[in-house]
Structure 1
């Protein structure tokens, strides 16, 4: 049986269009996927096409009817998929199959079989041929579509290129439009800026026209805005000198400004004069005046009328200036306005001074006629404090910014304060009383500067320089009078016999104190030497009234003068009474002076400078001896110029030195009174011992100590008895006199302590000599006091 499969037909070679179509179909499949229903239909068709039924007739036994039936079924199945030509061929085959064939020979059979096989092959391959034809036609259609699409794509690329070109041109056009808009805006801004800048130059004519108009006055509402615009134009032109003709415009603008400021000055002067005229008229109505030649010489106003007339009315009359002055002050940072503001201050002060000077002078003159100097100082300063406050308030009303600077009111307040200064100075310059001058210093410094001016500060700052000047003059006068007082009452003091009546004066004071009289409180000071009392009294007054530097110099001089005067008095008392009285007098007063100056918190050391020409004398001597030349290597100016030497003098240290020296002299003198024989004996013993140790001593020196003429037991006993008598009689008298002069137990104890030590030490040395050089019997004959007994005796004394 022949194979049913037909010959394999090779697919035609794919052209470029087919490849493009295939790619397009693949892209289409990816971009347009089938639904599940569509895919199921395709799968069913694929299965139906894959199965082909066997023919109905069999070899050798198939009837033509069966073959015809099979052909009919195939025809029915392929009717929908085959072309008309194929259907016609199938119909012819069916017709042929329906004919009955009769085979009589083998040859016919083979022929029939070959025909049948050919028919079968043809029938089998027909479907594939049709499918191939269909695919070929589809490929041709796809090639046509791809060709069409290729042309479309080329046209699309051209269209895209054209669109890109159009977009590029559109963007360029848009950018050009934006540039033109920006350029237009810049030009508009430049034009506006140019117009703004030109406005400053164009204002010259406008401002000049308005300033020179007859109706333009400072009091009009257009003046200040026009002045402000003028300032803006000047500032702009001055800050932009690079513009053409800017210097010319600046000069013209400044001329207009000068004219405007001159108008301001004239207006201010007019307003102030009008206000002054109104106040003067009110003053005449409220005051009593007197004088000659038609000139007012005295003005008397009550305090209430003075405030109302001089200040309230002037404030009301000049209120028109307030707004103008505020504008001027707001521009005071500029030179022109600073000058016009200063002129306005001067005009104001001149008008106010003309109004109030007569009233203030009269009031201070009335005080001077009725009151003493301290009361005049208090009243005058209090009145001027009130005047300064009122003037400051009035000035602050017109010049609120300038009122914080005291110098602006100085032309007004200085003459008013000078009136009080002249009145006070004429009085205190002739004052000789130190207490009154010190009282003036206390008033000016404590009551006026610290209290009145310290509380009010800025409102009375104009009075401050005058008070300081007055205080300085009073202190200068006080310093001069203090120097004169110290020279006359301390340095050149001539003591009377009563002043030198020591110790009688002390004894009387002690008796009065013991009697409990009323003079107890003054006896303590009455026993002082007058220069000491005057020195301390003067220093205590000056300490709170003078500056530390000035007081230090005066204190230095006063202490030196007082110390010198006390030393002179001590020598005079030594002549009148005794050396011990003079020494105790000096110790007493030096101790008091040292104690009383201790509270003064000052440095009593003063550095003095003096010129030293000793080197010049030595140089001239060397020149005369030929040892040096006048024209030496040193310059002539250096050769003949003096040397400046500094030396320091400390009054307190000098006082301590004098006190120490006097105490040492007193201690030695009392020690001699108490143990002089014993001291002489100890000295001789020391000399003998030195001689005994000397090899060159004569034979007399080799005698024992008690064999010496001065050291026999009898002589020693006599010496000890003399010393014991002095310790029991004279030393208590000395202690009593010390207590009389010093009047302080602790001071007496301190001063007596070294005396006690000297007495005990001398006795200790004598007792040691007696134990070493004399026998017990000899010591018993001498009868010297034991150290313990002597210690108890001396302790009981002081």
Structure 2
């Protein structure tokens, strides 16, 4: 009620305008200079799109034939692409042409019912064709999905096979890695054992080398390798004596002692030869010194005797001192000659 009163009051307050005045006032809304309701570029584009769509608008399918026939091009404010029929008969003729029945005549009720039955069957077929096409499309989609599902299942089976192969290879690789580590450990142990055995055998293998050196005619006590050979021989004998549980312990101990005996024999021979040479040289020196002493004594005895007879006990003491000094000189000369040799 309140709204009706307000609407009536508004209508009464508005002045009555003619069509010309109304068009003039409406034109003020979108005039180029100082428009009353200016539009943005986006709004203008929207209006143009609506106008273009309205120009190609089709007549609604629910419009009765009589209304379509009553329409004229002048009564429409927008241009339509479809041509308007001139009468109802033209509309029916176009419908029969669509159904391919323009040459058939219906004169009896039976013909009408027969035609209507065919038309209904055709309409049902046309209606069902849409569902059949949809069904065929869905069946095609189903076949594609089945094919994709089959490919996915095949890919999954292939992946499972690859996973099994990977697990198999991984297990074998782990086993091989463990075996390699075990072999490396055993190899290290064998290398240590071989080195230990080689170290133990080195004492026994040295026997042949020592024996060949001792049997060499060029070997002498003054050679550079004689002292190291004796040291190695002592080490071998000490090692064999510290391991009496070895199988060939008595054999190698006997051989090493034989080598030691040979070495001692060489040392003894060298010592005896050296002493003999020194003795011969010292004998020559002693004889020479003695001859010198005798000659000196022969020359100086009368003087000494004279002095002794004259000096008495003091002269005899001086003579003893001189003889002692002469003896010390002989002994020192003999020791120097022995050190030189």
Shorter chain as denominator, the TM-score bin is 0.3 to 0.5
TM norm structure 1: 0.23
- Which structure has the higher relative contact order (CA within 8 Å, separation 6+)? 2
